[in-house]
Structures are given as C-alpha cells and as structure tokens.
A = this chain, B = another copy of it.
C-alpha cells in the first residue's frame, strides 16, 4: 500500500527534514519589527526555493509589507489550498530564554524530545509538516495527490495588514481551490489530535493618552496636573465589572450561548481546569463567573491588556509625571460579534471617560470576526478518521481560543471553507520565551498530513 510507503519515507527522511526546518528557524523573521524586514524576505525566499525543488511553481510576491509566498502544483480533485505563516513573534524578554531563540536545538524533556526555538510551533514547524508530507508523497509516487496551491503569509503575527488586499487582488487565482487547509492550531492533548471548528475573532487596539505637553517633575506639578497613567488605569479598571463581564456598550451583541450538545461533547474530553491552569502556575479561573474553563477560552469573548507603558520604566526611580501613557488592548470575539461596531463603541467609551486636558489617540491593530466552520463537508469526517489512525486517541472537533482571521477571510473573500488541523500543544509557550514544538508533533504531524491527503483524495 502506497500510503505506508509514504509514511516510511517520512520516517527515514526525518533527520534531513529537521535540517531543513532548522535552516528556516534560524532566519529571525519577526514581522512586527521593521529591523527584521530583510529576515522576513529571506524566509520567504527560502520557502520559494524549497517548494521549487519539489517542482512547485512558486514565487515570493511583494506586498506593501512582507512578501506572500504563492505556489501551484499537481492535478486532480479536490483542489486544496494550504496556508501557513513564516513570520514569528518578537523574542523579548530575551533574558528569559534558556538559549538563543534563533539557534534551534533538539532537547530532551519529560514528554520525549522537543525542538526549542522561536517559530518552532508558531508556525514554521507546523507549516513544514505539510511540506514534508508532500515531499515524501512526491518521492514515493513521483506525482502529487491532487492539485495543491500553497499560500504562506509573512504578517500573521503583526495583524496581517496586506492579507485582505492581496486576497482581493488575486481573487480569481486563489478562489479556484475547493477547500483550505490551515496548519496553525493545536491538538487537544498529546494523545488526541483535533480539527478546530470554532475560532475566536480578534480586535486589536492601542490607546495613547496624553496630558501635559511635556513630562513634568512630580514635585512641582504633582497634585495639580493630570497624570495619564492614572487616567489609563481607571479606564482599564472599568473595562470589566466585578463578575468579569466586559462593560463596553453593546459588546455582547451577537454572542450566542454554546449549544448543550457541544458543551456535552466538551465534557467527554476530560479537560481539567486545574491542570490547564496548574501548568502555568495558576489555580483559579479568573474569567467570567459561572463559565467553565473551556467556555471561557473557546466560546466566550474577552478583553485583555497585552501591554502597558508610561513614564519612567528603567532601573531605579524617577519622579516624573509623564505626558503620556499607552496600552495595547485586544478583544477575542465569538459568534456574530461585529469587530467594527465594538471598536467604535470601545473608542467612544474611552473618549467619554477622559478628564479635562487629556486627549486620546487610537491605533488600529487589526479586526477579524469569529469563525465557525461548516463541518458538513465530507472532507472533515475523512480527515478526522485519518488523524485517528495516526494517534492513540480518536480525533476531536473542538473550539479554539486563539484567533486565525485567515479562515474568516478565506470564507468572505474567496468563498472557501477551511479545515484547521495542527499539532501544537498547550505547553508550547507560543508568543513566550522558550517556545518549543514536540518532535512527535513534527514527525507524526507530517505523517498525519500524508494520511489526510490520502483520505481526502481517495
């Protein structure tokens, strides 16, 4: 049976596959920081060259930001579009890393070997599971399983500013596929693979509050002049009520209760809030009262402060009364919440809270609605069965707390359904120091894609 031959090929080629992955991981493609623009271009170029070596007609197409890698290859139905992203998160605080984030290595852990480094799990390691499955398929068969379009983005970690214009400008070309495969999600746990069918949306806002026209000496002006840090703190403190509900007017419009059937399915997953929180040193759910942990992270909207700064933040002390303070605030959205209506309501709420002499500037860091996948497409059940063959437990359909706006954009702009399959784990330290990807995620991930390709083209 040729699937077995493909799986054997993946096994025997593992060392070489890791070498390729490490080469990609060494490129510091931090998309949000202009200092790494050249690295983003290099990562795109490397992917183009790797795809070309497999016979894919690939190119790095320029955008106003970082390039889009687009490739086409193969023949036959279904026509699949595979999406991943080659950019990574910033690495600060660098001092909390145990090794250079861009010098990846295999390490031993209690759960077996893992790959340590920025981008291992998010998303270079995941992206390469699909490429390696294709490489093995091509090596064994000499042909491709079906027509495949590759789309690798370089701005996923910085709000994807070029994505929508690019999809719209290339709509004819990119709407041809029948189904999108997106590899940027997690398994349910080490034994249980997953297809993510609900994803929260994301609204990112930066709020910059200005008081005096310069930094003041708190001795001379303290007590008389407005302090923007205090103003900002009051605004942040008012965004939630005492039960953890968000107070932005109209925020819950379009939020639906999770159906009992889904809640019951989630109960069977054996998810323990204690373990989920305990893994990161916490013990109590801090979200909306009366909601389970899975509801809080999969099915309920949130408002978080992702960063705050103002005044003197270096060593020692400086009695400054600062002119400015700012915060980066994000909202995770569910159901039919309208990110643009919420942005408007949030900005009005903040503006209404400003005391005299304060002004506010808002910066837009992206807005995407939640996605709920249509699991009626038979490819979903075929993929679920294929994944179940590779892993100890049967694959689950589940919700995802993170936002992958691409699935919404594929649906809206290209009319394309997405199937989200990924091999990340909750302890991968995404966006944090010491990011890692289990070696099993990488190896069995590639094997999983080979099985899925076989299943959906059968």
Contact = CB atoms under 8 A, between A and B. Distances in A.
A322 B307 CA distance: 8
A296 B223 contact: yes
A87 to B, nearest CB: 11
A302 interface: yes
Contact of A276 (B157, B224, B429): B224
B322 A306 contact: yes
A356 B157 CA distance: 31
How big is the A interface, by class?
A: 35 or more
- Which has the most chain B C-beta neighbours within 10 Å: A225, A297, A313, A316? A316
A365 B159 contact: no
A315 interface: yes
Contact of A280 (B216, B233, B237): B216
Interface string A236-270: 11111000000000000000000000000000000
A225 B431 CA distance: 16
A318 interface: yes
Copy number in the complex reads 2
Contacts of A430: 217, 220
A330 interface: yes
A316 B159 contact: yes
Contacts of A366: 317
Contacts of A403: 219, 319
Contacts of A431: 215-217, 318-320
Contact of A308 (B200, B288, B296, B308): B308
A153 B389 CA distance: 74
A234 B311 CA distance: 18
Nearest to A205: B317
A155 to B, nearest CB: 10
Interface of A: 31-34, 89-90, 92, 96, 157-159, 186, 200, 202, 204, 206, 211-227, 229-230, 232-234, 236-240, 273, 276-277, 280-288, 293, 296-297, 300-302, 304-322, 325, 327-328, 330, 332, 355-357, 365-366, 400-403, 426, 429-433
